[in-house]
């Protein structure tokens, strides 16, 4: 379940609150670009800075605007199992199609703790779950053996693998029925060659049709053509990750006039020199630059 091209969508802000008009436009861009699914309130959506009531509003909003044209996954993972269950229940109430559950960050649980955490959520909320392994942000790597054990739960159907390891993808894909998705845009093609069935993408916020084409071509087994698409995307991907995400991708969308560049602290504007590199990569790719995207003077605060 959840194979294909999934976009971890940004959360647009204006004046410290969610810009619903811009959000609707971003959702429509994804659907018209052929994206298979949208993740709401993921890392790219600045989930750590969103209040629970904002998340619940976002889940409902994205589901209503998607109108079943694409699947909607809710990023409900936290470092607290009980809190994760509460958010996951809110996602189910909003009629989301599934959950994206990140490895609990900061807490640094053991493999036994990870197993107990994910099984507790899967037992409590009857929705398909995509595990999310990203040791660079969570501080803990979920071992392939742990992921394979969790695959026995009927509600755990996929894993977003962002460890950077082709070995891990190979081991998981060859040992269980989970749908494996790349969690790194630059590794989509090599991961698919090892058995992954798609990507949860950041760069697809900008070029959804091209990411969809890469995944669809690789799924058909045409790796020569897929490599051509990958090679075209690669410089843009590197530019979109020139600093911590989602700073660069939100800046790129602002440059295109699709939302403000507003971020919530501790995220802040990207360095001006890096912004010029981002613009150059966008121009080389053939993307339009239609707005000046005035720089932020300070990070936006949370909703009161």
Judge whether 304 lies within some domain: no
Q: Note the pTM of the prediction, 2 decimals.
A: 0.94
Running along the chain, 304 residues long, what does each successive block of 10 average in pLDDT?
A: 96 97 98 98 97 98 98 98 98 98 96 98 98 96 98 98 98 98 98 98 98 98 98 98 97 96 96 97 94 58 49
Judge whether 127 lies within some domain: yes
Judge whether 231 lies within some domain: no
Catalytic, out of 92, 132, 212, 250? 132
Judge whether 189 lies within some domain: yes
Q: pLDDT digit string (tens) for 135-154?
A: 999 999 999 999 999 999 99
Catalytic, out of 60, 160, 212, 258? 160
Looking at residue 290, its pLDDT comes to 82
Is 223 known to be catalytic?
no
Is 160 known to be catalytic?
yes
Looking at residue 304, its pLDDT comes to 43
Which structural domain, as residue segments, surrounds residue 98? 4-220
Looking at residue 98, its pLDDT comes to 98
> Is there a cis peptide before residue 266, judged by omega within 30 degrees of 0?
yes
Q: pLDDT digit string (tens) for 36-95?
A: 999 999 999 999 999 999 999 999 999 999 999 999 999 999 999 999 999 999 999 999
Judge whether 44 lies within some domain: yes
Judge whether 249 lies within some domain: no
Judge whether 254 lies within some domain: no
Judge whether 273 lies within some domain: no
What's the CATH number where 108 sits? 3.20.20.70
The domain total for the chain is 1
Looking at residue 62, its pLDDT comes to 98
């Amino acid at each position: 379940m959840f194979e294909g091209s999934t976009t971890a969508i940004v959360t647009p802000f204006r004046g410290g609150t969610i810009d619903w008009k811009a959000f609707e436009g971003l959702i429509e861009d994804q659907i018209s670009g052929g994206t298979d699914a949208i993740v709401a309130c993921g890392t790219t959506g600045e989930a750590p800075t969103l209040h629970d009531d904002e998340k619940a509003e976002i889940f409902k909003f994205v589901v209503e605007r998607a109108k079943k044209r694409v699947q909607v996954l809710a990023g409900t993972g936290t470092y607290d199992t009980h809190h994760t269950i509460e958010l996951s229940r809110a996602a189910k109430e909003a009629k989301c199609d599934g959950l994206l559950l990140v490895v609990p960050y900061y807490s640094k649980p053991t493999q036994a703790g990870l197993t107990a955490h994910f099984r507790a959520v899967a037992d409590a909320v009857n929705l398909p779950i995509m595990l999310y392994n990203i040791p660079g942000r969570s501080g803990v790597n979920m071992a392939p053996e742990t992921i394979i054990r969790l695959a026995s739960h009927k509600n755990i159907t996929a894993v977003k693998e962002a460890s950077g390891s082709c070995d891990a993808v190979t081991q998981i894909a060859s040992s269980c029925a989970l749908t494996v998705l790349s969690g790194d845009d630059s590794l989509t093609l090599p991961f698919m060659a090892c058995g992954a069935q798609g990507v949860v993408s950041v760069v697809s916020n900008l070029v959804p049709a091209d990411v969809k084409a890469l995944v669809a071509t690789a799924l058909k087994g045409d790796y020569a053509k897929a490599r051509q698409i990958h090679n075209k995307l690669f410089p843009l991907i590197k530019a979109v990750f020139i600093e911590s995400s989602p700073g660069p991708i939100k800046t790129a969308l602002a440059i295109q006039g699709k939302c403000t560049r507003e971020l919530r602290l501790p995220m802040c504007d990207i360095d001006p020199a890096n912004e010029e590199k981002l613009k150059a990569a966008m121009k080389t790719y053939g993307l339009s630059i239609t707005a000046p995207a005035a720089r932020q003077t300070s990070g936006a605060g949370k909703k009161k």
